[in-house]
Amino acid sequence: MDLKQIKQIIDLMKRSELTEFAVEEEGFKLKIRRGATGLPIVSTGSGSNPPFAHADPAPASAPAPATAHLAAPAPAGDEAGVTYVKSPMVGTFYRAASPESKPFADVGTKVVENSVVCIIEAMKIMNEIQAETKGAVIEVLVENGQPVEYGQKLFKIKQ
């Protein structure tokens, strides 16, 4: 599935009453659903192949398309048993679905692989970011509403 096809699906959702769309092909999963704001929320399944690849990371001024969610173990030299949830794209970081909602994850929150920990808005699309690991959140590394870059650490999780 390429970027053009994903954009067509999103346009179809905007023009219709469709609230959720899911597709799975060759190990790739894509799920798009309307959020509380009416804007589409895009998430990809763990272990999926990205729908498109970039040779270079996108510049900070241009949001990158959604790819697989990243949660990589801490590099050697960092604390043992600590994992970081990293941003899979450039966009704006939100801790909750709306300003009135409670945060998806806060310090002390226990998470599993498919727990949504935040939303990153990119190109007016709300992308749910999953923990991709089990553990407890020990630090939130980004403030609500701040811009984030590809690969930026968002949460620190103790396994």
Residue 154 belongs to a domain: yes
User: Which tops the pLDDT comparison, 63 or 158?
Assistant: 158
Q: Residue 126 domain-assigned?
A: yes
Residue 65 pLDDT grade (very low, low, confident, very high; cuts 50, 70, 90): very low
Q: In what order do the strands lie in the sheet with 147-148?
A: 20-25, 28-34, 40-44, 125-130, 116-122, 91-94, 147-148
What's the predicted TM-score (pTM) here? 0.53
| pLDDT score for 110 | 93
Domain count, the chain: 1
Q: Say if 42 falls within a structural domain.
A: yes
- Within the chain, how many helices (H) and strands (E) appear? 1, 12
In a domain, 29, yes or no: yes
Asked if residue 58 is part of any domain, the answer here is no
Please, are residues 121 and 90 in contact by the beta-carbon 8 Å criterion?
Answer: no
We report the CATH number of the domain holding residue 16 as 2.40.50.100
Asked if 29 and 48 count as a contact pair (C-beta separation under 8 A), the reply is yes
**Segment 87-130, tens digit of pLDDT:** 999 999 999 988 898 999 999 999 999 999 999 998 888 899 99
Range of the domain at 14: 3-53+64-158
Strand (E) or helix (H) holding 11: helix 3-15
